[in-house]
Amino acid sequence: MNILDTSIHQNDETGLGSTENEKQLRSALRQFSRKNLFDIILPLLSDYVTCDELVSQIRHLKCKTTERVIVDVFVDLLKEREITDEEITDILPIVMLMGIANNPSRRMWTAYTLQGHVDVDKFSTDLEDDIKHNFHENNIHSAVKVYCLDKIHWIQIIMKKLVRSKLKVSPPIYVAHFIGEPYLFFSPPSSDRLLEPLTQAFGYDNYKFSNLNGKDLYSLLQHLKQKGSKRGFKGHSSKLCNVKETTLGKDFSQYTEKRKFISDLMGPCPPKLSNYVVEAKNLPWKANITNSILRDKTFNMKIEFKTMDTIEMLKDMAESGALRVPPPSYVINLLGTGKNNIKLRVQGVNGATDSENQTDAERN
């Protein structure tokens, strides 16, 4: 048998008699709250220890049901069953993967956009089989685990290779895929070697780097979807809100209309931005310049907004007259077209943006 197809964890001792195995399992289980241990983890591991067995043992020991006690009793019960290394290699990836799924904001995620058309999303088992097949075809030695939770495919990939006749195991790579959405989120960022067979396993033709990373997966997804829905939007739409028409054109003197105009531009649920940096390069002078030297010159612009909620600030600026309406193109590009590099970080329940850089922003 090829050594690359053997157990991920190689130890002299077997089962939970191995200190390293026990340490890894305890550490993975302690990521969860008491509720999640009972609701998520223990049902997944019921082939080894059932919830009833665990509760019965805790009552027998007359212990308070804390997270630590649950983990210790669970591991002790596994020891009593003389669990093998092979069984541990089935348990650990599940627990580690569910730990990421339960609290993804502990990691930084990098977004990739899938290209092509897929009619039906795959079930977890089919997807796992296809990923393993594609990896095998591309001579990628790895252990792959796929699990579906809350309409998200959670994938763990552990790369394996031989170094001087010894098996070397890389830290896990995690992938999140919102079912029905053409996006993959990697932690840490991946290479073409993994991305190509993984993209094909999902049924897509190609992928591209989305220049987007952060800790809040839902804000990242929301940003990507809004950018996609506004792709190709240029200039100002007359249908964004019901602005009064006059003989001189649209009347933006009413404060509520100004605010609504900006609000409609941003969409119904924009991500919460705490720091928004706009960078435009090689801008031409637009004023009537008589000096021929200046007429041929270009300039670079950088605007930085620092606030608890940049979107609300832009609305307030428009309402108070500090931001012209219709707004500059960089406001339209904020969640629309344009190149950007945005970092979203968790802030409360909504998520927040650390920074966004836009280059060559569209100009009217």
* AA identity, residue 292: S
What b/e string do you get for 89-116 counting C-beta neighbours within 10 Å, with b at 16 or more? bebbbbbbbbbbbbebbeebbbbbbbee
Query: Given this model, what pLDDT does residue 258 score?
Result: 76
Whether 107 has a pLDDT exceeding 80, the answer reads yes
Which residue do the tokens 């019960």 mark? Answer: 77
Whether 279 has a pLDDT exceeding 60, the answer reads yes
List, in sequence order, every residue forming a beta bridge with 168; answer none if it has no partner: 161
Structure-token pair, residue 280: 């435009």
pTM: 0.62
The 10s digit of each residue's pLDDT in 144-176 is 999 888 899 999 998 888 777 777 888 899 999
Query: Given this model, what pLDDT does residue 153 score?
Result: 93
Whether 190 has a pLDDT exceeding 90, the answer reads no
293: left (phi over 0), alpha (psi -120 to 50) or beta: alpha
276: exposed, middle or buried (C-beta count within 10 Å: 0-12, 13-18, 19+)? buried
Whether 83 has a pLDDT exceeding 50, the answer reads yes
Whether 253 has a pLDDT exceeding 90, the answer reads no
User: Cis before residue 188, ω within 30 degrees of 0?
Assistant: yes
All domains in the chain, ordered by first residue: 3-102 (no CATH), 106-214 (3.60.90), 245-359 (no CATH)
CB atoms inside a 10 Å sphere around CB 354 = 17
Query: CA torsion 45→50→55→60, rounded to 10°?
Result: -120
CB atoms inside a 10 Å sphere around CB 59 = 10
Rounded to 5 degrees, φ, ψ at 65 are -80, 80
**Full 3-state SS string of 175-235:** EEEECCCCEEEEECCCCHHHHHHHHHHCCCCEEEEEEEEECCHHHHHHHHHHHHHCCCCCC
User: Cis before residue 326, ω within 30 degrees of 0?
Assistant: yes
pLDDT range class, residue 24, cuts 50, 70, 90: confident
3-state secondary structure of 279: strand
pLDDT range class, residue 244, cuts 50, 70, 90: low
pLDDT range class, residue 364, cuts 50, 70, 90: very low
Least confident of 44-53, 281-290, 337-346: 337-346
Torsion sign (Cα): 310, 312, 318, 319: negative
Which residue do the tokens 């609000």 mark? Answer: 263
15 compared with 74, residue with greater pLDDT: 74
List, in sequence order, every residue forming a beta bridge with 359; answer none if it has no partner: 339
